[in-house]
Amino acid sequence: MPIPYQVVEETARQMYGRALKKYPPDLVKCLRSAAKAETNPVAQKHFQLMVASIEKGEQKDQPICQDTGMQTLWIKAGTNMQFNGQKVQDAIRNGVRRWSSENEYRKTVVHPVTRAKVGEQVGLRHPTIYWDFLEGKDYLEMMMLSKGSGSENQGFLAMLVPAQGINGVKQFIIDSVLAAGGQFCPPGVAGVGIGGTFDSVARMAKEALLRPLDTRNPDPKIAELEDELLEAINATGIGPMGLGGKTTVFKVNVEYGVTHETQNPVALNLQCWAHRKAGARIHSDGRVEYIDYFGGEAHE
């Protein structure tokens, strides 16, 4: 039977609110661990304020941060499902539009030239939606990342050449983090993409932000690079909100793809401490389960 599109719409609506209000459990763990290890009194104070914002957001059912962000969605559709892709996308857009119109929060989406506000957070080519497939499954999984401008403005991409090697990749990442400083509202997560093409490497970097923070890339060389970059970034001492401290990022997630023999694209997508994301699994019978990452366990 075809997936019920009204369920997709309502789920997208709920996901938007959940992304803004519910702090990811794996990030809570990282935040508390970093706060415990911190010795800088200014950094400690910022950690206290972050924890307070999370707790008040949940208690009062309010967004953790005033920036409601720009929405990017990833859809993984089971190959045993019946669905119309255009209707799924329309339902998602309607869900985002409904949540925005029903809640008096900051509206952030504008025309790029006139700067006129769109008003309902939905417009030309937004939200951005990427598709993939789940072989043999009869459900659809969606992940939403609602990314604010503080972190999104601190995105970097370079078309490196093979002669620059892996050291060139590392140097680009560190230089980019130093250039960003406290502007991406650290501590957060660093998503890195390596390889592919100009367009795909940027997608890889942002997609890396969806991975659970207790995982490493299955490729040993890439996992080693994640560890090296994490150590190097935190050694900058940028710290919470750029005011100094031991933790600038909680985790570095690297995704990669094959590339042309004469190029080596690399991209960095920094995520802020709030890390607004939400996920859901919609079964063909209309049942909905909320998840924190693709393939994750269902929860309330």
| pLDDT tens-place values along the chain, 300 residues long | 678 999 999 999 999 999 999 888 889 899 999 999 999 999 999 999 999 988 888 889 888 888 888 999 999 999 999 999 999 999 999 999 999 999 888 888 999 999 999 878 899 999 999 999 999 999 999 999 999 899 999 999 999 999 999 999 999 999 999 999 999 999 999 999 999 999 999 999 999 999 999 999 999 999 999 999 999 999 999 999 999 999 999 999 999 999 999 999 999 999 999 999 999 999 999 999 999 999 888 886
Closest CA to 141 of 38, 26, 12, 272: 12
Separation of alpha carbons 232 and 123, rounded Å: 39
Separation of alpha carbons 292 and 279, rounded Å: 5
Q: Count Cβ atoms within 10 A of the Cβ of residue 183 and give its class: 0-12 exposed, 13-18 middle, 19 or more buried.
A: middle
Separation of alpha carbons 198 and 159, rounded Å: 7
Give residue 69's identity as a one-letter amino acid code: G
Chain mean position to CA 219: 21
Separation of alpha carbons 290 and 288, rounded Å: 7
Residue 51 Cα distances to 22, 23, 28, 39, 200, angstroms: 12, 10, 8, 17, 35
pLDDT of residue 3: 86
Beta-ladder partners of 146: 71
pLDDT of residue 171: 98
- β-strand pairing of 128-134 with 70-78: parallel
Closest CA to 253 of 193, 296, 201: 193
Chain mean position to CA 238: 21
pTM reported for the whole predicted model:
0.95
How many other C-beta atoms are found inside a 10 Å radius of the C-beta of residue 206? 22
| Longest CA pairwise span in the chain (Å) | 58
Closest CA to 273 of 249, 242, 245, 297: 249
Beta-ladder partners of 148: none
Check residue 162 and report its DSSP letter.
G
